[in-house]
Amino acid sequence: MQGDSPEKRAGVRPPDGPFGWIPTLAASANSMFIFGASNSYGVFSTYYLNDRFAGTSAATLSWIGSLITISMFSLNALTGALADRRGYRTTAYIGTALCSSAYILASFSTKVWQLMLTQGLLFGVGASFLLAPTNSIAPQWFHRHRGLASGVAIAGSSLGGMWFTAATQAAMDHLGFAWSLRILGIVTLVVTGTMNLLYFQRVPMPPRKRIFELQVARRLTFWLIALELLTAYTGHWAVVFYVGTAARQMGGSAQDGSRLLLVLNAANVVGRILAGFIADRFGSINTLVVSLLLTAIVEMSLWLSACSMASLYALCVFYGLVSSTFISLNPVIVAAHFSSSPLSSVMGMTNIFSGLGGLLGNLSQGAIFDRLDKHMHLTNTIIFSGIATLLSAVVALALRAHLIRSGSSKRFLQKI
């Protein structure tokens, strides 16, 4: 009909319909396996640092977790372009194959460098292939409820962190290190291989001739988002990687560390969904600024003053509620302000800076731990992480001011 929208005349499903929740929930399930490895890496980090490789420095061991983050995010510009050109399912299946293989190969590793290549680099590359379509599928299906949908999709990462943490710790206690990795590899293959089938694209991307969308790099908005991600990821992983070690320094066990991670990830689930709900009403950037400020306040106050297991549990609850909301809110911000560009590609370009931030943060925190905090309270590691997070809040404020001043997106001036 003449009054129909171009999308309807072209046979494209309209946004904000119930069908969009199918690929959104599939993305949530896959997020469990993409980020579950890094969110539960504290189990492996505590085991490597205190048992399996007790004579190895934290800075060296931090390369395993760092390679997951840096390769997952830094390669996302390439994998995002591939997702736009070859389709979301094809890209996701490559990721499934690589992630599953990484776990299996890591189970046979006996040296730190072998784990760097398998559990670190290979898994991170595979996660990058999975992340490209997973980050982009929910925002394209929703306009009015984009923040909530993105929050639901990324909340799976914390759900994954919960059961990954519990399952990994239980498997290591009863079956050993090698079989815990093999089981994770098999489960990853089965679940993500099934969820990939549900990656329906609402609007197929037109053919593209270039890999990088270099024109977006001419906009200050892009660079402010990139800098915010760089600084946020620089500070983000300290609690995830070192709260188990903090528990050990207080006389706790490895099981205490895994229980703290369970609480942290459970709080993350609530926080990410709640942040999306709030962002749809008060603006994604407004919500981002507040959550980053609260993250720095919670970390610097509760962790610096922690003197018991109860205080560490309080840290994990409050930090989990506010800390990782930036992970679910940034795809919403990119989708809102770069809607005319291929979404996976632009998100991939911003994620390069997420990877660099993760590398900078993990290596710096490892070096600080070795030199200053190994046999005492993690004061210096905490201060470094808190300052980086506070800086990311300042950059997010600058992004908000820039968008209001430039009037670059009038639709979002009231709820920016």
- Mean pLDDT, the chain, as a whole number? 82
Contacts of 1 (CB under 8 A, 6+ apart): none
pLDDT of 1 reads 43
Q: Please say whether the beta carbons of 234 and 390 come within 8 A.
A: no
Q: What's the one-letter identity of residue 392?
A: S
pLDDT of 390 reads 95
Q: Please say whether the beta carbons of 130 and 99 come within 8 A.
A: yes
- For residues 221 and 406, what is the distance between their CA atoms, to the nearest angstrom? 10
Q: What's the one-letter identity of residue 296?
A: A
pLDDT at residue 409 is higher than 70: no
Contacts of 26 (CB under 8 A, 6+ apart): 137, 195, 196, 197, 198, 199
Residue 236 banded pLDDT, cuts 50, 70, 90: confident
Mean pLDDT of 302-315: 90
pLDDT at residue 88 is higher than 80: yes
Per DSSP, the three-state class of 188 is: helix
pLDDT of 4 reads 43
pLDDT of 122 reads 95
User: Between the CA atoms of 71, 74, 78 and 81, what dihedral angle is there, to the nearest 10 degrees?
Assistant: 120
Pick 211 or 138 by higher pLDDT: 138
Residue 355's region, left for phi above 0, alpha for psi from -120 to 50, else beta, is: alpha
* Angstrom distances, CA of residue 222 to CA of 15, 253, 340, 346, 416: 25, 44, 14, 9, 16
* Angstrom distances, CA of residue 351 to CA of 131, 135, 292: 10, 10, 18
DSSP state of 261: H
Residue 93 banded pLDDT, cuts 50, 70, 90: very high
* Angstrom distances, CA of residue 296 to CA of 22, 144, 323, 387: 35, 30, 8, 7
Q: What is the pTM of this model?
A: 0.73
Contacts of 259 (CB under 8 A, 6+ apart): none
Q: Which of 183-187, 237-241, 404-408 has the lowest mean pLDDT?
A: 404-408
Rg (CA), the chain: 20
Residue 268 banded pLDDT, cuts 50, 70, 90: confident
The residue length of the chain stands at 416
pLDDT at residue 413 is higher than 50: no
Name the range with the highest mean pLDDT among 60-64, 259-263, 382-386: 382-386
pLDDT of 393 reads 95
Q: Which of 112-121, 227-236, 273-282, 331-340 has the lowest mean pLDDT?
A: 331-340
- For residues 115 and 214, what is the distance between their CA atoms, to the nearest angstrom? 35
- For residues 115 and 110, what is the distance between their CA atoms, to the nearest angstrom? 8
pLDDT at residue 281 is higher than 90: no
Q: What's the one-letter identity of residue 366?
A: G
pLDDT of 412 reads 45
**295 CB burial (10 A radius; 0-12, 13-18, 19+):** buried
Which one, of 103, 163, 95, lies nearest residue 125 by Cα?
95
C-alpha 398, offset from chain centre = 23
**Which token pair is 251?**
């006389």
pLDDT at residue 291 is higher than 80: yes
Q: Please say whether the beta carbons of 41 and 241 come within 8 A.
A: yes
pLDDT of 39 reads 66
Which residue is it, tokens 């370009």?
A: 349
Percent of the chain predicted with pLDDT > 90: 25
Angle at 21 between CA 20 and CA 24, to 5 degrees: 95
Give the domains, in start order, of the chain with CATH numbers: 17-200+211-407 (1.20.1250.20)
Which residue is it, tokens 């969110």?
A: 39
* Angstrom distances, CA of residue 62 to CA of 109, 232, 342: 16, 18, 34
Neighbouring CB atoms inside 10 A of 37's CB total 29
- For residues 364 and 370, what is the distance between their CA atoms, to the nearest angstrom? 10
pLDDT of 367 reads 84
Q: What's the one-letter identity of residue 248?
A: R
Span 319-374, pLDDT tens digits:
989 987 787 788 788 877 876 566 667 777 888 888 888 888 878 888 888 888 87
pLDDT of 230 reads 93
Residue 12 banded pLDDT, cuts 50, 70, 90: low
Per DSSP, the three-state class of 85 is: helix
Span 192-206, pLDDT tens digits:
999 999 988 877 665
Supply the angle between the helices 343-368 and 325-337 in degrees, to the nearest 10.
150
Which residue is it, tokens 């509620």?
A: 321
Pick 13 or 183 by higher pLDDT: 183
